[in-house]
Amino acid sequence: NAQFALKRAKQSGRLEIYQPGEVNIVRRRFSVETELRRAIEAEQLSLAFQPLIDLQSGRLTGFEALARWQHEHRGAISPAEFIPVAEESGLIVPLGRWAAGAAATALATWDRAAGRELPLSVSVNVSAIQIARDDVGGVIEQALSASGIDGSRLTIELTESAIINDPQRAGRVLAAIKDLRARIAMDDFGTGYSNLAYLQKLPIDILKIDRTFVAPMLRDRDSLAIVRAVLSLADALGMSTTAEGVESPELAQTLAALGCATGQGYHFAKPLGQDAAFAYWMAREASATASSASA
Ligand code: C2E
Ligand code: MG
Ligand code: MG
Ligand code: MG
């Protein structure tokens, strides 16, 4: 393979020496892009739903929708691999449109199964590239009208990079999302190049504290200090908070005591398939009802 790459480079008149590993990275990336395009067209992607838990009451308040790609030969391909490829190739635009529609449709499907409008929200990740290139407000509007769910039951998760590149455009997109009554969460908060002025200027409802601060906070004083600082910042600005990476009951308890509103993590549940997510909601509601009846 390395020889092949070397020969191609010579033919083009340049002498470039590729390390064998480099060639493999380039090739894998190429095939991931081609196959991801096919997977989107053939609707071979799915969504997994990870529970969001009210840390004070223990009630389930919603799910974060996370893209999953089950490849016919290679098995599960991680979003950590295909989301960056989707962003670089522009495929995140159709992928993001699909994800918004599928998440809203899942919520409508659970409502129908329960025979009522459930007190649940669904969170959808929107990439900085979508903000820059697509009409995200229109995409959300379309997802809501196709599924019939109210905008107040949808949360859009954005990272800091979605705002930094073009703050004016981001401001218009966020205003359009708020007009639809959806909420806005700042995802992975603390890991990007934050400009705190944007927190004040933009209509952000929720800060999601990245799991790199949450997971070690019981053994690492600096992480704990950062978590506390984000909680107090959110409180001062009138925003809600979600802690990612809640992996133990001790973490859930400590975060609840510190006043964090919502928790998400393996301690509660891993991301679940659409039917498993609905079963989880019913089981959790049944036990919440039973414990409040006995209390
Ligand atoms: P994210 O939005 O920060 O999502 C949370 C990630 O943390 C998920 O990884 C979830 O499975 C993982 N996680 C949740 N709880 C725990 C825990 O207790 N411990 C640990 N170690 N991990 C936990 P996942 O599903 O692999 O997704 C990775 C990232 O890919 C997401 O990070 C998000 O940035 C991106 N992504 C996923 N789906 C989409 C999508 O539809 N659109 C866009 N634009 N990005 C997506
Ligand atoms: Mg997210
Ligand atoms: Mg996150
Ligand atoms: Mg994260």
Distance 181 CA to ligand 2 centre (A): 19
> Which atom of ligand 1 lies at the shortest distance from residue 99's CA?
41
- Ligand 1 atom index nearest CA of 208: 3
For atom 37 of ligand 1, which residue has the closest CA? Answer: 66
**Nearest by Cα to 241 from 221, 218, 220, 259:** 259
Q: What is the rounded CA–CA span in Å between residue 222 and residue 227?
A: 9
User: Which DSSP symbol is given to 153?
Assistant: G
pLDDT tens digits for range 10-64: 444 445 555 666 666 666 666 889 999 999 998 899 999 999 999 999 999 999 9
Q: Which two tokens stand for residue 160?
A: 């800091």
CA of 66 to the centre of ligand 1 (A): 6
Rg of the chain on CA atoms, in Å: 21
The answer to whether residues 272 and 251 touch, using CB atoms and an 8 Å cutoff, is: no
From the CB of residue 216, how many other CB atoms can be counted at a distance below 10 Å? 16
Longest dimension (CA), the chain: 80
Per-residue pLDDT tens over the stretch 239-264: 999 999 999 999 999 999 999 999 99
- Centroid of ligand 3 to alpha carbon of 292 (angstroms): 31
Give dist(CA 172, CA 167) in Å, integer: 9
Amino acid at 258: L
- pLDDT for the residue numbered 82: 95
CA-nearest residue, atom 43 of ligand 1: 125
Tokens representing 77? 């391909």
Ligand nearest to C-alpha 264:
1
Which ipTM did the prediction report? 0.97
Alpha-helical segments (H) within 12-160: 20-41, 79-89, 92-114, 128-133, 136-147
